[in-house]
Amino acid sequence: MTYPIKYNDEFLARVEALHVGGRDLPDYSQWIKDHMGGRVVAFRERLLPHILAFTDLSDVDVLDFGCGTGSSTVVLAEASAAGRITGVDIDAVSLQIANLRFTHHGLDNRIATRVIKPIEKAGDLDLPSEQFDFALLNGVLEHVVPFRNRSAVLLEVWRTLRPGGMLFVSETPNLVWPYDRHTTGLPLIPWLPDRWAHRISVALGRHNEEGDLESRGRRGMTFWGIVRPLRATGPVEVLNITHTGNRLFPGRPAFRPSTKRRFATAVLERGLGPILTRLGIPATALGPFIEYLCLRKPPAA
Flag whether pLDDT at 257 surpasses 90. Answer: no
ω into 49 cis (within 30 of 0): no
Whether 50 is covered by a domain: the verdict is no
Give residue 16's pLDDT.
95
Handedness of CA 142, 148, 151, 152 (dihedral sign): negative
Task: Name residues whose C-beta falls within 8 Å of residue 146's C-beta, 6 or more positions apart in sequence.
Answer: 214
Question: Which CA distances in Å does 71 have to 75, 99, 149, 230, 248?
Answer: 7, 11, 25, 27, 23
Give residue 25's pLDDT.
86
Whether 147 is covered by a domain: the verdict is no
pLDDT level of residue 24 (50, 70, 90 thresholds): confident
Q: Are strands 84-89 and 111-115 parallel, antiparallel or unpaired?
A: parallel
Give residue 191's pLDDT.
96
Whether 200 is covered by a domain: the verdict is yes
pTM of the predicted structure, to 2 decimals: 0.95
Give residue 110's pLDDT.
94
For residue 142, the one-letter residue type is E
Whether 252 is covered by a domain: the verdict is no
pLDDT level of residue 7 (50, 70, 90 thresholds): very high
For residue 90, the one-letter residue type is I
Q: What is the pLDDT of residues 80-134, one digit of tens each?
A: 988 899 999 999 999 999 999 999 999 999 999 999 999 999 999 999 999 999 9
Domain boundaries, position 182: 176-213
Phi, psi of 242 (to 5 degrees): -85, -20
Give residue 164's pLDDT.
97
Residue 43 in contact with residue 71, Cβ under 8 Å?
yes
Number of domains into which the chain is organized: 1
Q: What CA–CA distance (Å, rounded) separates 142 from 204?
A: 22
What is the distance between the terminal CA atoms of the chain, rounded to a whole angstrom? 56
Give residue 253's pLDDT.
64
- Computed over every residue of the chain, the mean pLDDT equals 94
Give residue 255's pLDDT.
66
Whether 201 is covered by a domain: the verdict is yes
Q: What is the pLDDT of residues 137-170, one digit of tens each?
A: 999 999 999 999 999 999 999 999 999 999 999 9
Q: What CA–CA distance (Å, rounded) separates 59 from 142?
A: 30
Give residue 20's pLDDT.
87
Question: Which CA distances in Å does 65 have to 30, 101, 119, 211, 235?
Answer: 23, 17, 12, 24, 22
Whether 205 is covered by a domain: the verdict is yes
Give residue 261's pLDDT.
76
Whether 195 is covered by a domain: the verdict is yes
- Name the residue among 2, 3, 12, 1 with its Cα closest to residue 101: 12
Give residue 42's pLDDT.
94
